[in-house]
Amino acid sequence: MTEPVALIELAGIGKTYANGTVALGGVDAAIREGGLVSLVGPSGCGKSTLLRIVAGLIAPDRGAISWPASGARPSDIGFVFQDATLMPWARVTENVYLPLKLQGIAQDKAMPRVRDALARVGLAEFSDAFPRELSGGMKMRVSIARALVTEPPLLLMDEPFAALDEFTREKLDDDLLGLWLAHRFTTVFVTHSIYESVYLSERVLVMGARPGRILADIAIDAPFPRGRTFRESQAYVETCAKVSAALREGAAI
Amino acid sequence: MNSRFARILVPLLVGIAFLALWEGLVRASGVKPFVLPAPTVIAESLVQNFASLMASLWVTFRVTLAAFLLAVVGGVGLAIVFSQNRLIETALFPYAVALQVTPVISIAPLIIIWVGYDRVEIAVLILAWIVAFFPILSNTTLGLRSADHNLRDLFRLYGANRRQVLTELQLPAALPYILAGMKISGGLALIGAVVAEFVAGSGAATGLAWRIVEAGNRLDIPRMFAALFLLSTLGICIFFALTFLERRLLRHWHESAMRREI
């Protein structure tokens, strides 16, 4: 088996904020093309900062980010925030159309793609609704549809389901896995939930705070699709314990 | 008490009771009409002077509306310029504030002299505009800055240009602020127009404010009240028109304009 090519390669990434806080103190990591990786860690460990650096929204002070598989940062990156971050004045369709609109694609040409993205997240009938008419989980689905409408090779998610209730979160985790299995976009998923990180990903990068750094790199071998059987398996419980132990070790230092 | 019905009926009843009390007291006490006319006498004067009062109402309305619309265009326009260029904002904002805090009545004579007594209506327009302009400028400036930060990042991520950020994100996000500014400015434009006419005086202006001055000089107090009544009605209409506009534009998405079911 040949080693898959890394899409993202982080070498010694460091970021210090103006107030002197060291958000990231040298992060090295490689994420393979088509992979699904979680960053898990306590608040303040710089995981969101790292995600924004990958997205190109902020520049690192030290270190370099390279893109071995594609040569450059993909021009299309899907980004999902902790809040759905929808435009409240625009209908669901218009919100999902936004990325294509900003790329200069005419509405009539974009509509089939918008409808397709909404169908994929199960919101086809809600295309004319305004965001305030939707539940928290539905808003998050719109946000995911918006991130996927350009069919990006890379999806970055910053604690996307943290504000949702447990049932909705589990449902959305499964939906995300389904979408990932169908399209295999490289996904970096930031979360502070150990369970979510283990359930979702192929690999969990455990991060520690002050300064933000990677404490452990834990592979999760369970096959996809995962479901209730995996959630209730011994392997799942053991992996959660392993991630939890890595986090505790980091906190003790 | 049912809400919608009560909201109209209760103030109406209070108004009728107040007018009845006024009428009764004036009649019972025998106060002279040039001190306090009874409502019926005012109504009579309104009917008698209907043509001239209506012509004046039209003048005042026209000037107020023009000043208001120019204030919206100027205020929103300048706020957009400010949002695009920090240097221009830093350079000009203090002067916009200075214009605002200087009482309009104190610069009215100057403006009227500059514009000329033969074109008082333009001077009134300028003065009303000065008063109405600032709330829209400051509200829009605030609104353009209040767009969600994550949405801004999203626009950046998709390579949006400045124009797209402005038209697709900043202006829609600023709309509730602009409308709130318009509600304040609508009333202020009328106040500005009235103050300017008072200062212009001497028959050069022909709006409702001048009718009030004129009626006062002649001790025709019923007519003064009639003009006052029309002025208040105009102010109320402006307020309700702008409230209606606000509801229409924001009803789908903004908390302020939503009907709560519970």
Confidence (pLDDT) at B69: 97
Number of neighbouring beta carbons within 10 Å of residue B81: 12
Confidence (pLDDT) at B118: 81
Contact (CB<8Å) A89/B252: yes
Q: Residue holding tokens 């971050």?
A: A85
Cβ–Cβ contact A59 with B under 8 A: no
How is residue A198 written in tokens? 């283990």
The minimal CB distance from B172 to the residues A79, A89, A150 is found for: A89
Confidence (pLDDT) at B258: 67
Tell me: do B1 and B58 sit in the same domain: no
Contact indicator for A63, A27 with CB cutoff of 8 Å: yes
Distance from CA of A231 to the nearest CA of B (A): 33
Contact (CB<8Å) A83/B157: no
* Number of Cα atoms under 13 Å in the Cβ half of residue B121: 13
Confidence (pLDDT) at A28: 87
Confidence (pLDDT) at A43: 82
Residue type, A131: P
Residue from B149, B175, B253 whose CB has the most chain A CBs within 10 Å, to mutate: B253
Query: Which residues of chain A are within 8 Å of residue B154 when distances are taken between CB atoms?
Result: 79, 81, 85, 98
Rounded distance between C-alpha atoms, residue A19 and residue A197, angstroms? 31
Across residues B118-131, what is the average pLDDT?
89
Across residues B83-96, what is the average pLDDT?
90
Contact (CB<8Å) A75/B159: yes
Rounded distance between C-alpha atoms, residue B93 and residue A59, angstroms? 33
ipTM score assigned to the predicted complex: 0.89
Cβ–Cβ contact A222 with B under 8 A: no
Give Cβ neighbours of residue B178 (< 8 Å, ≥ 6 apart).
B72, B76, B136, B139, B140, B143
SS3 A27: strand
Alpha-helix runs per DSSP H in A77-135: 92-102, 107-120
SS3 A11: strand
SS3 A212: strand
Give Cβ neighbours of residue A79 (< 8 Å, ≥ 6 apart).
A55, A147, A155, A156, A157, A158, B153, B154, B157
Cβ–Cβ contact A90 with B under 8 A: yes
The CATH code of the domain that includes B179 is 1.10.3720.10
Tell me: do B125 and B12 sit in the same domain: no
Tell me: do B17 and B138 sit in the same domain: no
Give Cβ neighbours of residue B169 (< 8 Å, ≥ 6 apart).
A87, B147, B151, B152, B155, B160
Tell me: do B7 and B66 sit in the same domain: no
Look at B33 and B15; give whichever has higher pLDDT: B15
Across residues B80-99, what is the average pLDDT?
90
Tell me: do B25 and B106 sit in the same domain: no
Query: Which residues of chain B are within 8 Å of residue A101 when distances are taken between CB atoms?
Result: 168
Q: Which domain holds residue B101?
A: 37-257
Residue from B154, B155, B156 whose CB has the most chain A CBs within 10 Å, to mutate: B154
Helix (H) or strand (E) run with residue A83 in it: none
Long-range contacts, A67-76 (Cβ 8 Å, 24+): A67/A7, A67/A8, A67/A9, A68/A5, A68/A6, A68/A7, A68/A9, A69/A5, A69/A6, A69/A7, A69/A33, A70/A7, A70/A153, A74/A152, A74/A153, A74/A154, A75/B159, A76/A150, A76/A151, A76/A152, A76/A153, A76/A154
Tell me: do B15 and B136 sit in the same domain: no
Rounded distance between C-alpha atoms, residue A175 and residue A197, angstroms? 15
Confidence (pLDDT) at A101: 94
Confidence (pLDDT) at A1: 44
Tell me: do B88 and B103 sit in the same domain: yes
Cβ–Cβ contact A56 with B under 8 A: yes
Contact (CB<8Å) A102/B158: yes
The pLDDT tens digits of the residues spanning B165-202 come to 999 999 999 999 999 999 999 999 999 999 888 888 76
Tell me: do B69 and B183 sit in the same domain: yes
Locate the domains of chain A by residue range.
Answer: 87-152
Q: Give the CA dihedral B49, B52, B53, B59, nearest 10 degrees.
A: 180
Give Cβ neighbours of residue A52 (< 8 Å, ≥ 6 apart).
A58, B153
Contact (CB<8Å) A79/B157: yes
Contact (CB<8Å) A101/B155: no
Helices H / strands E in chain A, number of each:
8, 9
Tell me: do B76 and B103 sit in the same domain: yes
Residues in chain A: 253
pLDDT over 50 (residue B140): yes
Tell me: do B99 and B165 sit in the same domain: yes
Cβ–Cβ contact A104 with B under 8 A: no
Contact (CB<8Å) B150/A85: yes
Cis-peptide, bond into residue A211, ω within 30° of zero: yes
Do the domain assignments include residue B262?
A: no
Q: Which A residues, 142 through 201, put their C-beta within 8 Å of a C-beta on chain B?
A: 150
Tell me: do B19 and B41 sit in the same domain: no
Distance from CA of B120 to the nearest CA of A (A): 43
Query: Which residues of chain A are within 8 Å of residue B150 when distances are taken between CB atoms?
Result: 81, 83, 85
Contact indicator for A12, A29 with CB cutoff of 8 Å: no
Does the CA dihedral B118-B120-B121-B123 come out positive or negative?
positive
The confidence band for B112, taking pLDDT boundaries of 50, 70 and 90, is confident
Confidence (pLDDT) at B205: 64
pLDDT over 60 (residue B1): no
* Number of Cα atoms under 13 Å in the Cβ half of residue A117: 28
Confidence (pLDDT) at A252: 65
Q: How many CB pairs (< 8 A) connect A and B? A: 50
Query: Looking at the 3D structure of chain B, how many domains does it have?
Result: 2
Distance from CA of B139 to the nearest CA of A (A): 19
SS3 B139: helix
The pLDDT tens digits of the residues spanning A44-100 come to 888 889 999 999 999 999 888 988 888 888 888 999 998 999 999 999 999 999 999
The confidence band for B260, taking pLDDT boundaries of 50, 70 and 90, is low
How is residue B252 written in tokens? 């789908």
The pLDDT tens digits of the residues spanning B28-66 come to 998 888 889 999 999 999 999 999 999 999 999 999 999
The confidence band for B262, taking pLDDT boundaries of 50, 70 and 90, is very low
Contact indicator for A91, A128 with CB cutoff of 8 Å: yes
Write the CA distances from B118 to A239, B31, B103, B129, B130, integer angstroms.
Answer: 88, 41, 24, 19, 21
**pTM: predicted TM-score of the whole model, two decimal places:** 0.86
Across residues B149-167, what is the average pLDDT?
93
Confidence (pLDDT) at B120: 84
The minimal CB distance from B150 to the residues A77, A83, A102 is found for: A83
Pairing of strands A6-16, A22-32: antiparallel
Which segments of chain A have a pLDDT < 70? 1-4, 252-253
Distance from CA of A74 to the nearest CA of B (A): 11
Tell me: do B189 and B218 sit in the same domain: yes
